[in-house]
A and B are shown apart, each in its own frame.
Chain A
């Protein structure tokens, strides 16, 4: 018999799958929205219970998904990190849906809105499955579910731009999953297993025997590249700005906040559980991730400075922030891994906040999206302005906010390398440059949106038409709670970072 909370893993996965399937029968958009939100709340509670229990016990557990034990059947596995990530993702998805609710009603035709919520439910299910899976092939199947759901929520707005963005996204994802699956197939033919601990055992055996070193490096490279394409690491980021910039508000928030991270979690599992960090370092794969991460940090920020489209600016900032995650992974140490995990949490909370509040500002400006048109909008809708400011300051790295702790932990992880190697120097330099550039464009944008309205008159297009926005309670709730989460992550970071560092060993 398992402990009661261990059943929650499969219950939350199947609950979200079943909600998605049953939503097909609801023609009414409002009802399906309610069903999805309730499901998300229930799942957040269930995963939260798992998190509390596992972190108190400080151990992980495995759960067989079927009649037969692990090497023969499927298996899921959870420690504190997995359940924490699942809980936070659940909350972020819920908040994004709440915050972008009005845009959803405007952007999607009433007959199709329940289909959007189906996608959302299955996206949630695949997030859980990717957090908890212990099997490479299950990982592949749920990656595909996540990809289709993510593509569909991009195209839900259904104008030319989003459909073009979707097909580019789909093609890039196809390449990514093809390369990933090929990597898994080669790994299977070398090790004869699909379950992560078993693969690890045979990989370790081969490493000590010194055989199959070359195919192993290729496998590690293929799996990592496949997942990097899907999570928009630097040279493969081309699909991201169009997709995230043109989708509806909730979709952008969820894509940036959750979907990119889902793939990264699988990547972390591959690095820690299929190989060990020591082996990854021997294969030199981490250096590739590190260099690309550094490039992404700088390139994303530079492009964001030059961008005038408000949502695309935030999307390019996502490219840079994904770079932070990969730099943490590329350091390939416990501290680096903890920094990457913290960045996953911090970025999920901050980026969804930024997208939602930008969506609010854009609504006030009458659906004009360039930064120029958003001038003075924060005064008309202060809550959205405050949300944007908090998010922007967190990205810049103001103390007491989540983004600051990311930079600090990442810097500490780099310093922990000891001797001043090139990694340490380049990492610290990249953090400095990226923070400066972040400060440049985010503070500029923040000043723009808070400018006084008199200056609007000098606008050559004439003043932006005032759009009276009726109070939107769910939007306010989402913005406030995401702000609070941001501050909590920033102020009480120390125990969390310590927990993450301890739990990396459990991965």
Chain B
């Protein structure tokens, strides 16, 4: 494949490219932020990127959302978009909500105990206060 062709493909798949960028931003944030709260926000970034990617997988420009408005007419694959990615995204969102709640609860407990959100500081205080 020539380079121009690749660029053309990238242009057609531009939503996926945006999703990939978001994903890497989230991953960077998750690795570099020392603040637990920011880490959790970065995690949300990553999840959102994946949902964007999945959503545009199922889409075809010009097709309708997969909700049948007129039940008497026979539905056709030429008219509607693929409903499966929407279902997957729904599942993913609920999973990410529970993970966020769990992470925030842990952060809250750590803040109550060590009075800081910085993970390095927390680890240092932990090693100081508890017998190893």
Question: A residues within 8 Å of B by Cβ?
Answer: 137, 141, 144, 148, 151, 155, 159-161, 163-164, 166-168, 170-171, 174-175, 178, 181-182, 185-186, 188-189, 194, 309
Contacts and interface: CB of A to CB of B under 8 A. Distances in A.
Contact of A160 (B49, B91, B113, B132): B113
Contacts of A178: 23, 26-27, 43, 46-47, 50
Interface in B68-115: 84-85, 88, 91-92, 95, 98-99, 102-103, 106-107, 109-110, 113-114
Interface in B19-39: 23, 26-27, 30, 36, 39
Interface string B43-63: 100110110011001000000
Contacts of B30: 171, 174-175
Contacts of A181: 50, 92
Nearest to B36: A167
Nearest to B30: A175
Nearest to A155: B106
Nearest to A159: B130
The 5 closest A-B pairs by CB, nearest first: A189-B57, A178-B46, A167-B106, A144-B95, A160-B126
A174 B84 CA distance: 24
A374 to B, nearest CB: 15
A127 B91 CA distance: 20
B95 A141 contact: yes
A160 B50 contact: no
Contacts of B130: 159-161
Given A160-B110, A170-B106, 9 more contacts: A137-B88, A160-B126, A160-B130, A164-B122, A164-B123, A171-B30, A171-B103, A178-B46, A182-B53
A310 to B, nearest CB: 12
B129 interface: yes
Contact of A170 (B88, B103, B123): B103
Q: Chain A binding site: helix, strand, loop or mixed by DSSP?
A: helix
Contacts of B109: 163
Interface residues of B, number: 38
Contacts, number: 79
B110 A164 contact: yes
B64 to A, nearest CB: 20
A189 B9 CA distance: 14
Contacts of A144: 95, 98-99
A178 B114 CA distance: 29
A148 B102 CA distance: 8
A161 B110 CA distance: 10
Contacts of B114: 160
A163 B110 CA distance: 7
A151 B109 CA distance: 15
Nearest to A147: B99
Nearest to A309: B132
A159 B114 CA distance: 12
Contacts of B132: 309
A148 B50 contact: no
A166 B122 CA distance: 13
A148 B36 contact: no
Contacts of A166: 106
A67 B53 CA distance: 29
Contacts of B16: 189
B113 to A, nearest CB: 6
10 contacts: A141-B91, A155-B106, A170-B103, A171-B43, A174-B30, A178-B26, A178-B27, A178-B50, A182-B50, A186-B53
A407 to B, nearest CB: 33
Nearest to A172: B30
B29 to A, nearest CB: 11
A163 B85 CA distance: 35
Given A160-B126, A167-B103, A175 B39 contact: no
Nearest to A190: B57
In this complex, the member of A159, A174, A186 whose beta carbon has the largest number of chain B beta carbons within 10 angstroms is A174
Contacts of A189: 16, 53, 57
B102 A185 contact: no
Contacts of A185: 50, 53-54, 57
